Structure 1
């Protein structure tokens, strides 16, 4: 029976508040391989688990119990203690965001966790850690180098480098991480908007030098895997990526139709807001969810391809 890797997106966003310890517990109960989550940096240099550059207006309430405005201070303008004061356990009723996750069960009192706390809560599971920087809005976060340093330091404190993969849409983060800790596996995230503005997001890489083929650009970074938006992935790209030694982990695979398509294509795993439904689909397809430890297999020789088309094997 084939193993198939399953990762809960932001914990299990479709079932529990995103990027919270409660959500991580729910993801674990679904029998996942591991969990994907996001990291920002506080003004005092603490890595915090949160997706947006600010506490999200769709679910963050201040100490007075009011949902925050869209211009709430940025994470990197607040201390870790400040950020721990937000309650992020309940979606804003009536918002479009809440409508997307009707099965999410509130957990009032859930807080923005530190990365250290998240790593402790996720002990034994594989980790997909997305570092949130925005090259089109550099003032919104700490620098890619500072972010990479903070995440890697936390991984070392938890002895978790070997079970983690660092994800980023901003490929500068991956370059910085490779320089700091070469043993940490890295994954290039892509979506249509970041590819369209490749000069910003792809660390200056010109897709034209690779005949527009993103999988060759990913391989040229020395990354170990590629995480495309599932709806844009086609079979030719998948086969090319896998032939280049890349693991392919599409993200936000949430519907029966999307599960079926990804499983039919033969991706290496998927990241889902509904790991409960994804697990059911995987098992119905005659496969089983890979046990934690899948990440340890993302360590093959990765072909590095230059713009001239030359190829050499590069140790990850």
Structure 2
């Protein structure tokens, strides 16, 4: 595959959103909108098609008609909120600023929380072939600021007359990573919500996490913000909700954990059930027939067939 420079498109979209030299931060909604009736979420944008958690991946997901952009948030050494799944540069699909491979001995050397964002941005996260996603289009790309992603997405929505989408933002944290890979939950939430409110997208934001602590901080400080509990354990709905301590808007398990009984139980509690990460059309159809409330997929192009 040939590398394609995607920056001109992103720059054009950012320019479209500018007014008198400033980004257009007008609120996208005056009320608290309901979640989509059936939520089509592009996982890390459109990871199966373009480099994950990048502006091009998010714009591709919008082009394909998603109702929610799903993404992962990390915090840099200088407190910037940016998109990344891993807490360090992943040598599987990311390159050094020089364009060279990250040596295996340095696989976990480049920790984001120990680098300023200005340095993080110099790594190339889109030009290396990723065998797990052979259809992924190669292009030079960087890990973007959350603010940049929002500006680009809102500009694209406006330019193409699309319905407003939701932003499902995962806080990538766990107790063992505090002060090593990320700040403590309180600071993580504060920095994330500062960006959300600067961009006036609070009504359309969902904060998700495997870490109940960040959701608990969010519930205490921002009870109006929608929450989603991510689950990959076998402990069951009752246990996981007890650990969380409140009823989230969304329960989001690994799709293999979904059963008709789980669908019924979540719906009885008024919770939407949105499983991850479903990359097979037949599995999507089966889950939809079972009654789930949405699908998170690396391949949002499959939603057109669903």
Checking the alignment, whether the CA contact within 8 Å between 1:6 and 1:279 is kept in structure 2 is: no
Q: Judging changes above 3 Å, is the alpha-carbon distance between structure 1 residues 71 and 220 closer, same or farther for their aligned structure 2 residues?
A: closer
Question: Is 2:77 the partner of 1:37?
Answer: no
Structure 2 CA distance, aligned partners of 1:8 and 1:217? 29
Give the alignment of 1:140-179 within 5 angstroms.
140-179=181-220
Q: Judging changes above 3 Å, is the alpha-carbon distance between structure 1 residues 255 and 184 closer, same or farther for their aligned structure 2 residues?
A: same
C-alpha displacement of 1:175: 0.7
Checking the alignment, whether the CA contact within 8 Å between 1:61 and 1:87 is kept in structure 2 is: yes
Give the alignment of 1:206-285 within 5 angstroms.
213-214=238-239, 216-217=241-242, 220-281=245-306
Q: String of CA shifts for 1:201-257, please: whole Å, max 9, x gaps.
A: xxxxxx7xxxx7346537842311110000111110111001101011111111022
Q: 2:99 aligns with which of 35, 55, 65?
A: 65
Q: String of CA shifts for 1:157-195, please: whole Å, max 9, x gaps.
A: 000110010000000000111222221111110002xx6
C-alpha displacement of 1:58: 1.6
Moved more, 219-228 or 143-152: 219-228
Checking the alignment, whether the CA contact within 8 Å between 1:130 and 1:166 is kept in structure 2 is: yes
Question: Is 2:82 the partner of 1:81?
Answer: no
- The unaligned stretches of length 5 or more in structure 2 are 1-35, 155-163
C-alpha displacement of 1:34: 1.6
Corresponding residue for residue 56 of structure 1:
90
Question: Is 2:151 the partner of 1:114?
Answer: no
Structure 1 CA distance, aligned partners of 2:216 and 2:174? 15
C-alpha displacement of 1:67: 2.5
Structure 2 CA distance, aligned partners of 1:62 and 1:131? 25
**Corresponding residue pairs, total:** 258
TM-score (normalised: structure 1): 0.77
Q: Judging changes above 3 Å, is the alpha-carbon distance between structure 1 residues 256 and 65 closer, same or farther for their aligned structure 2 residues?
A: same
Question: Is 2:132 the partner of 1:100?
Answer: yes
Checking the alignment, whether the CA contact within 8 Å between 2:90 and 2:108 is kept in structure 1 is: no
Q: String of CA shifts for 1:15-41, please: whole Å, max 9, x gaps.
A: 000000010111111011021000000
Q: Judging changes above 3 Å, is the alpha-carbon distance between structure 1 residues 59 and 261 closer, same or farther for their aligned structure 2 residues?
A: same
Q: Judging changes above 3 Å, is the alpha-carbon distance between structure 1 residues 275 and 9 closer, same or farther for their aligned structure 2 residues?
A: same
Where 1:22 maps in the other structure, the secondary structure is helix
